Structures are given as C-alpha cells and as structure tokens.
Amino acid sequence: MDTLRREIHSLNKAPKLRSTVQDVDKIIEELEAARAQVAATLDTHTASLTMAKLQNPLNRHFEVMTQDLKNVSKVHKNLGKTLDKAMPVKPLPTDHDVMAEHMDLINRAIAMHLLREGEFSVAETFQNETQDDVTLADVTATQPSTGPDGTEDQIMSEPDGGGPDLMEMSYQSEPVAKRQQSQASHIPPPELKDRFADMYRILESIRHHDLGPAIEWAREHSEELEARGSNFEFDLTKLQYVWLFRGPEVNGLPSDRPNGRLGAYLYGKENFPRFQARHLHEIQQLASAMVFAPNLPDSPYSSLFAVDQSFSEIAASFTREFCSLLGLSAESPLYIATTAGALALPRAIKYASAALAKGTAWTTTDELAFETPLPSNMIYHSIFVCPVSKEQTNEANPPVMIPCGHVLGRETLKKLCKGNRFKCPYCPQDGLFKDARRIVL
C-alpha cells in the first residue's frame, strides 16, 4: 500500500496527457504560421514551398506526440502493476446475493441509520427517492399478495426473541415502537425522525454543558429508566450538583445564588431526596464534600468531582438510554453489521473458494459452515456450544442442566441415556433424564 501511495503521489511529475495537448498546440502554431505565409503572398511558388517545408516539422511533432503518448501509457501500466501488487484482485462472493431480494428492508435500514446519525436532510432525500421507486414498482408489478396484516403479525411476533425486556418496556411506555411495527416494512416510522431530532437537540446542549434538557427528559421517562435498572437520572442529577459545586471558575455560569457551592447545596436539597433509597451512600459523600470544599483536590472526594470526562460519558450513556427506550441498539446496527462484514469477509471468501475447489456445497441453510471470528464487543448473546456434540444449542436442541450442574445439549443427553439413566461425561455423578432442567441462557 505504501509503494502504491508513493507512486500515486508522484504521478504529478510523471508524463501526462497534458503534454500531448501541448504537442497539438505546436502543430497548430506551425499550421497557423504556414497559413499566414501563404495568405500573405497568395503566390503559387511560396505556397508549394511552405507546404514542402511544413512536412518535416509537422511529422516530427506527430512523432513527439506518439512518444509522449507512449510515456503516459508506460506510467499507467506501471501503476496497474503496483496496484495489482498492493491490492491483488480477490473476487467477492456475489453468486447468491440474498440481500437483492430485500431491497425495501435495506432501504429502511439505511433511512433509519441516516436518521439516527442525525443526517435528517439526506434521510429525507433518500426517503423521497426510494418512495418514488416503491410506488413505481407497485404500479408495474402487481404482487402485494401478502397483505399488510400478514406482515404486521410477522413483525409483531418476532422482537420477542430480541431484547425482550427492552422491547416490552418500550411497548408500554413508548407508543413509537409499537406503531412502528404496524408501519409498512419499507418505511421507517415518521415519529422516529422527531425522536432523533430530540435526541440530537439534547446531545447538543450536553455538549454545551447544559444538562437542563437531559434532566427534563430523564424525569419524563423516570419510571421506564428505573424499570431498566438504570441510574441515568441520578447520574445526571449528580453531575449537575458537581457542576454547580465547582462554581463559576469552572462552569462559566454567572456567579449568583443558584450557582457555586450554595447553588449546589440548594439543588441537592431539592433533588437528592428522591434518590435517597437507592443512592444514600453516594449522596452522603456528595454532601460531605461541602466540608472539604476549600481543599477539594487533596480530599478523599477529588475523584467524585472531576468533570473532565463526565460530559462525554453522560452524552454516551444518554444515547444508549434513549435508544434502548425506543427498542433500538445504541450503536447503529448498520454500522456494526458492515464492520462485522468486513471482518468476516476473508473467511467467507476462503470458504467459498475451498467449497468451489472441492465441488461441495453447504446444505443446511440455518447455520454458516465456517466460523467467523469477531471481537468480543461484537458478541451480544450468550452462545452455548454443547461440549460433547460441539453443536450450538437452539430452540430444537436447548441447553439442559443435569443435577451436578454441568450443561449439555438435550440431544446429547438423550444419546447418553441408557434407559432413563445417564452418567455425566464430566464428573462421576449420574442422574435421571427427568431430573435434567432446561435452562435459558
């Protein structure tokens, strides 16, 4: 890559097509001069003489031009060679493009990605363009045989497998998520835009160290946040307290009554009692810090009062909470999926070429034939692989725990059974098949 980069960087000095334009210029000059000469005299002799004289220089210029062209061609050829070396052509697996059948779903995913990234104008352009496309397709192709009811049921039933706790909660609290489900599958719900616009407005004020809108939001959704076991509201209140506590020198707010230590005291008195039950210890610490105020950096509370990172941290957790309440993941799924795709692609290509060479094909459609290593932060679910059969457990073959606490796939256990007794493959205990419990990981 480095060589390629150097070579491309030096292309400016290499022979270019521009030089042939100069050659043409020279030819034009010669021709013009000759024309002027002939036109000046309009004499047969001069004309034939000029024309005869013109032959050699013109031909020479043409030769130079051909030479220039050759040089340019050489540069391009070399560039091609370096490119081949730096980035050898590896064909991408395109033979069965499953995604092509689901354009509407991809369009929706892109539109939602744009919205969550705050690219509202691009999202709008995109939605307009895709919608034109959809209406066009609906007119030409008469295939909406699966009515809206059918698709709705499908979508409604399936998020259960996903983040069920969050989804369910968002059903109760946020009508958005529910209404989204009943929307046609290719259009992101219109409310979503306003939601994300809200989110960006609040994030913007956090960036300007104004927690007001965020606190307001957290208070509105206090119950749902609590149900999630989230401390977000308290974290906000705490940061606001600390922020006021640090006074005008740090927070740059006008130094008046609601600011500074007094302001923090008043704020705390008003707001902390709501959190007393769950965060008593922290509140005590924050309150006792008052005593150390003159010498905070050396006090045991200095770490509590460091605000350098706090705002970006609170912004990140705000995004996470906000998306979770909408039943969405905090990071754009499209981003994670494409990044994972880039990481998994080498294996996929390797597998494809190996399968091609052997003339075999993977026959089951539910599971990939090869392992795709992903970094740990891209693993979102527990994965249990039966230690005996080496198969991933799933609905049909769930994990079961035998009395000694070891876990196996149910199919494995069935095979291990002699009559209705089995012996644990990992410890000396044995047990009865009916004592095995199906567990949910």
Q: Which of residues 150-189 bind other proteins (CB under 8 A)?
A: 154-155, 157-166, 177, 180, 185
- 3-state class (DSSP) for residue 438: strand
Contacts 24+ apart (CB under 8 A), 163-168: 163/324, 163/327, 163/329, 165/228, 166/228, 166/324, 166/325, 166/327, 167/327
Which amino acid is residue 123, in one-letter code?
Answer: A
Per-residue x/- marks for other proteins, 267-306, CB under 8 A?
Answer: ----------xx----------------------------
CB of 263 to other proteins, least distance (A): 29
CA 27 to CA 62: how far, in whole Å?
Answer: 8
CB of 300 to other proteins, least distance (A): 22
Residues 39-98 that bind other proteins (CB under 8 A): 39, 41-44, 46-48, 50-52, 54-55, 58-59, 62, 65-66, 69, 72-73, 76, 79-80, 83, 87, 89-94, 97-98
Neighbour-count burial of 342, counting CB atoms closer than 10 A to its CB (0-12 exposed, 13-18 middle, 19+ buried): exposed
Residues 186-215 that bind other proteins (CB under 8 A): none
Phi, psi of 323 (to 5 degrees): -65, -40
Which residue stretch of 115-123, 196-204, 207-215, 259-267 sits at the interface with other proteins (rule: CB under 8 A)? 115-123
DSSP string, 334-361: HHHHHHHHHHHHHHHHHHHHHHHHHT--
Residues 6-25 that bind other proteins (CB under 8 A): 8-9, 11-12, 16-18, 20-21, 24-25
- Count the residues of the shown chain that bind other proteins, applying the rule CB under 8 A: 165
Considering the complex, state which of residue 103 and residue 307 has its C-beta at the smaller distance from other proteins: 103
CA 313 to CA 319: how far, in whole Å?
Answer: 10
Burial code of 71-99, b = ≥16 C-beta within 10 A, e = fewer?
Answer: ebeebeeeeeebeeeeeeeeeeeeeeeee
The residues, ordered by sequence, that sit 6+ positions from 290 with a Cβ below 8 Å of its Cβ are 261, 265
CB of 239 to other proteins, least distance (A): 16
CB of 166 to other proteins, least distance (A): 6
Considering the complex, state which of residue 127 and residue 251 has its C-beta at the smaller distance from other proteins: 127
Residues 381-400 that bind other proteins (CB under 8 A): 381-385, 387, 390, 392-395, 398
The residues, ordered by sequence, that sit 6+ positions from 362 with a Cβ below 8 Å of its Cβ are 355, 368, 369
User: What ranges in 258-366 are assigned the alpha helix state H?
Assistant: 260-271, 276-292, 310-325, 333-358
Per-residue x/- marks for other proteins, 116-155, CB under 8 A?
Answer: ---x-xx--xx-xxx--x--------------------xx
Considering the complex, state which of residue 299 and residue 392 has its C-beta at the smaller distance from other proteins: 392
CB of 267 to other proteins, least distance (A): 23
The residues, ordered by sequence, that sit 6+ positions from 185 with a Cβ below 8 Å of its Cβ are 104, 105, 108, 151, 155
CB of 384 to other proteins, least distance (A): 5
Residues 206-265 that bind other proteins (CB under 8 A): 228-231
Residues 323-382 that bind other proteins (CB under 8 A): 323-324, 327-346, 348-349, 364-382
